[in-house]
Amino acid sequence: QVQLVESGGGLVQAGGSLRLSCVASGRTFGNYAMAWFRQGPGKEREFVAAINYNGGSTNYADSVKGRFAVSRDNSKNTVNLQMNSLKPEDTAVYYCAAGPYSTRRGESDYDYWGQGTQVTVSS
């Protein structure tokens, strides 16, 4: 079992930055690929970014490529999402997820989910 807790959300103006963190419980964090998904108001949940078990491979949605960066620190059981040049359309609840496969984009590829953290970008 892996429990995930996100933090770092908040209100930011367009063009600003936020850094989300997700801390995982359990001793097998380093075995899992980690991903970030988001769900905007009235929208389906969508893939944002993923990182493989050792940080050697990443995958990004086209909408965030070049603005967001995912990283992990296995010694701290933590995965981060650095979000720069934020846009109002980035407003969403952001979820951290853990799964056994490398940087896949599907929700069904991830077994464990956090509760989410709200990010609001004002124009």
Residue 27 has pLDDT above 80, yes or no: no
Q: Are strands 4-7 and 18-24 parallel, antiparallel or unpaired?
A: antiparallel
d(CA 73, CA 55): 8
State the pLDDT confidence band at 78, using cuts at 50, 70 and 90.
Answer: very high
Bridge partners (DSSP) of residue 35 are 50, 97
Bridge partners (DSSP) of residue 21 are 7, 80
Bridge partners (DSSP) of residue 67 are none
Average predicted confidence (pLDDT) for the chain:
96
Average pLDDT over residues 22-37: 92
Radius of gyration of the chain (CA): 13
Average pLDDT over residues 13-33: 94
